[in-house]
Amino acid sequence: MRILIATMNAGKLREYERLLADVPGLELETMASVAESVDVIEDCDTFVGNAKKKATEIAAVVGMPCLADDSGLEVDALGGQPGVRSARYAGQGATDATNNAKLLDELRDVADESRTARFHCAIVVVDSDGHELALAEGACEGRIGREPKGAHGFGYDPLFIPEGFTETMAELGPETKNEISHRAKAAAKLVPLLRRLQQP
Ligand code: IMP
């Protein structure tokens, strides 16, 4: 089975190749290997909605099965924000640094015990006609620290302290992250679904 990953990013392709290694006969490709470029507007109010939209619209253009994901940070004290707006939380031209600064500012009066949060990831696989083949979600629980720490990862990693740790995700580094991340957990749930699809 050949599946297109809805990304131009070779790093994400490698990550999924590792996460889905237990699906026999699966060949993954990125958008870089197809001629078309597809601009999908991620305007749904759920991670699943955005992942489905991305997978369906891209499958329609490229005519092959497609895997898309959507992820972000949900902070309990902010009613689940930034959520699906995680990438652009600080507004137009937001960067990881401005997003993190805004998050710290919003939480400045929030006590340590109320700074709980989670990274959430939804992965959707559709066939070449856009019919849903598999859907999986995963979460990584933790809390938001008081200042950015660590140099690994991206996004909110320097502020996110996973449950059971005292360091931020950016201090822990990729090996630990790849075991506990929202994407890893969602992908682990996806594996049996994809394996089942391949059975005659
Ligand atoms: P995407 O859907 O994977 O592109 O993620 C959207 C946004 O959520 C990113 O721009 C980050 O701000 C945030 N985010 C998603 N996953 C992570 C993560 O593993 N670490 C830190 N931030 C993340």
Is pLDDT of 33 > 90?
no
Three-state secondary structure of the chain: CEEEECCCCHHHHHHHHHHCCCCCCCEEEEHHHCCCCCCCCCCCCCHHHHHHHHHHHHHHHHCCCEEEEEEEEEEHHHCCCEHHHHHHCCCCCCCHHHHHHHHHHHCCCCCHHHCEEEEEEEEEEECCCCCEEEEEEEEEEEEECCCCCCCCCCCCCCCEEECCCCCCHHHHCHHHHHHHCHHHHHHHHHHHHHHHHHCC
In what order do the strands lie in the sheet containing 132-144? 27-30, 2-5, 66-75, 116-126, 132-144, 160-162
- What pLDDT band is residue 27 in, cutting at 50, 70 and 90? very high
* Second CATH level (architecture) for the domain 2-197: Alpha-Beta Complex (3.90)
Question: In this predicted structure, what is the pLDDT of residue 200?
Answer: 67
Instruction: Give the HSE-up count for residue 169: Cα atoms under 13 Å, Cβ half-sphere.
Output: 26
| pLDDT one-digit tens code per residue, 53-88 | 999 999 999 999 999 999 999 999 999 999 999 999
Nearest CA to ligand 1 atom 3: 71
| pLDDT one-digit tens code per residue, 142-152 | 999 999 999 99
70 is catalytic: yes
- Residue type for 78, please? L
- What pLDDT band is residue 38 in, cutting at 50, 70 and 90? confident
Atom of ligand 1 nearest to the CA of 181: 19
Atom of ligand 1 nearest to the CA of 183: 19
Nearest CA to ligand 1 atom 7: 87
Residue ranges of domains in the chain: 2-197
Nearest CA to ligand 1 atom 22: 155
pTM of the model: 0.94
| pLDDT one-digit tens code per residue, 159-186 | 999 999 999 999 998 999 989 999 999 9
Question: In this predicted structure, what is the pLDDT of residue 11?
Answer: 80
CA of 86 to the centre of ligand 1 (A): 7
Question: In this predicted structure, what is the pLDDT of residue 7?
Answer: 82
What CA–CA distance (Å, rounded) separates 56 from 177? 29
Query: Given 39, 69, 70, 129, which residue is catalytic?
Result: 70
Question: In this predicted structure, what is the pLDDT of residue 137?
Answer: 98
- Summarize the confidence of residues 107-117 as an average pLDDT: 98
- What pLDDT band is residue 39 in, cutting at 50, 70 and 90? confident
Tokens at 196, concatenated? 């089942």
C-beta of residue 117 within 8 angstroms of C-beta of residue 142: yes
Cross-strand bridge partners of residue 72: 120
Question: In this predicted structure, what is the pLDDT of residue 4?
Answer: 95
Pocket of ligand 1 (CB under 6 A): 70-73, 86-87, 99, 119, 153-157, 181
Is pLDDT of 31 > 70?
yes
Tokens at 70, concatenated? 């959507």
